């Protein structure tokens, strides 16, 4: 089963939930954590994995052989991202705009365009105390996280439980990360910003047809509009974590909740059991 942990709003506690869920489950079954927040990966700070493999993430970008080029301009015409410009006697490639679709190279009538690999990030993997671990890191200055996310997800186990830590927001990196999940946990806080961004996140998971439930973090601050919204939309609140300075201090030092306060382990196991129920109910109803 693949469970992704997303939020809409940043800083609501995705990584706290993902890491504590993984550690709570590790004695019961095979569990893997994939940190797909490749712009700002943080799960390794808490799990302190031993990383024994590093693989670069590359995008194939055009390399023009000007000896063969007839400057016909076809490549620039077909490129949807304006990553190639053809001048009367020169071809300019803007590699950072290239998505690596391969159209220019395939359609070049002179066969003057080869592809070379351009590194935009890397994937590191290993183990953390019984949890299989992988994360991606987008290189500084690179705009496109999705190829790195795809590469992290290639590491997913095909059995056991896979937990995906997702970046904040609702746009392409979030969609790429949660696509294919059996369940999505949405972590929020009971504030107007938390609610506003939760509504957007719910719309996103619904668009993808993924069942979801809420973890309400820092309960006690703000107002009760998140709860009202969840009731109205029939979205289950699966776990409530109170506003607690001790939890905030543990987090600040990079200590997971279930390691700093082991009494929380039972709550994370119940969270997992409820997710299993909802996901299996969903798959039964889909089969029908």
Check residue 140 for interaction with other proteins (CB under 8 A). Answer: yes
The C-alpha R_g of the chain, in whole angstroms, comes to: 22
Residue window 169-208: x/- pattern of binding to other proteins, with contact defined by CB under 8 A: xxxxxxx---x-----------xxx--xx--x--xx--xx
Q: Which is nearer to other proteins, 187 or 272 (CB)?
A: 187
Phi, psi of 3 (to 5 degrees): -115, 120
| Least spacing, CB of residue 30 vs other proteins, in Å | 26
Check residue 119 for interaction with other proteins (CB under 8 A). Answer: no
Q: Which of residues 58, 69, 85, 101 is near other proteins by CB under 8 A?
A: 101
Q: Which of residues 252, 263, 284, 285 is near other proteins by CB under 8 A?
A: 252
| Least spacing, CB of residue 35 vs other proteins, in Å | 11
Pairing of strands 31-35, 161-165: parallel
Check residue 167 for interaction with other proteins (CB under 8 A). Answer: yes
Query: 21 near 265, Cβ under 8 Å?
Result: no
Check residue 10 for interaction with other proteins (CB under 8 A). Answer: yes
Q: Which is nearer to other proteins, 154 or 277 (CB)?
A: 154
Check residue 82 for interaction with other proteins (CB under 8 A). Answer: no
**Per-residue CA distances from 172 to 112, 165, 178 (Å):** 33, 15, 10
Closest among 130, 175, 127 to 155, alpha carbons compared: 127
**Please, what is the angle between helix 192-207 and helix 225-233, to 10°?**
20
Check residue 229 for interaction with other proteins (CB under 8 A). Answer: no
Chain-centroid distance of CA 30 in Å reads 20
Check residue 8 for interaction with other proteins (CB under 8 A). Answer: yes
Full DSSP string of 102-118: -HHHHH-TT--EEEEEE
Q: Which of residues 50, 52, 67, 80 is near other proteins by CB under 8 A?
A: 80
Check residue 249 for interaction with other proteins (CB under 8 A). Answer: yes
Query: 211 near 236, Cβ under 8 Å?
Result: no
Give me 27's structure tokens. Answer: 């004695």
**Residues 6 or more apart in contact with residue 270 via CB below 8 angstroms:** 239
Check residue 52 for interaction with other proteins (CB under 8 A). Answer: no
Which span sits near other proteins by CB under 8 A: 5-13, 24-32, 123-131, 268-276? 5-13
| Least spacing, CB of residue 62 vs other proteins, in Å | 13
d(CA 126, CA 100) in angstroms, rounded, equals 28
Q: Containing H/E element for 149?
A: helix 146-153
Check residue 9 for interaction with other proteins (CB under 8 A). Answer: yes
Binding site for other proteins (CB under 8 A): 7-12, 15, 39-40, 42, 45, 78, 80-81, 99-103, 106-107, 138, 140-145, 167-175, 179, 191-193, 196-197, 200, 203-204, 207-208, 221-223, 245, 248-249, 251-254
């Amino acid at each position: 089963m693949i469970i992704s942990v997303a939020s809409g709003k940043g800083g609501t506690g995705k990584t706290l939930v993902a890491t504590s869920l993984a550690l709570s489950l590790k004695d019961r079954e095979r569990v893997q954590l994939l940190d797909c927040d490749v712009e700002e990966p943080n799960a390794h700070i808490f799990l302190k994995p031993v990383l024994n493999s590093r693989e670069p993430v590359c995008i194939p970008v055009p390399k023009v052989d000007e000896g063969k080029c007839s400057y016909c301009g076809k490549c620039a015409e077909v490129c949807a991202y304006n990553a190639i410009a053809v001048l009367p006697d020169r071809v300019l490639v803007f590699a950072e705009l290239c998505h690596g679709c391969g159209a220019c190279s395939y359609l070049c009538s002179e066969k003057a365009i080869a592809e070379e690999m351009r590194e935009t990030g890397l994937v590191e993997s290993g183990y953390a105390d019984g949890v299989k671990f992988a994360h991606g890191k987008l290189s500084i200055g690179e705009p496109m996280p999705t190829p790195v996310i795809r590469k992290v997800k290639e590491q997913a186990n095909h059995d056991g439980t896979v937990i995906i830590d997702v970046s904040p927001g609702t746009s392409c990196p979030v969609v790429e990360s949660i696509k294919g999940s059996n369940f999505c946990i949405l972590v929020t806080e009971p504030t107007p910003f938390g609610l506003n961004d939760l509504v957007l996140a719910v719309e996103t998971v619904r668009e993808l047809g993924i069942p979801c439930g809420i973890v309400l973090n820092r309960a006690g601050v703000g107002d009760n509009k998140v709860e009202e919204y969840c009731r109205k939309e029939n979205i289950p609140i699966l776990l409530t974590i109170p506003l607690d300075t001790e939890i905030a201090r543990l987090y600040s030092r990079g200590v997971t909740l279930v390691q700093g306060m082991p009494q929380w382990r039972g709550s994370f196991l119940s969270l997992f059991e409820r997710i299993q129920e909802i996901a299996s109910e969903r798959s039964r109803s889909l089969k029908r």
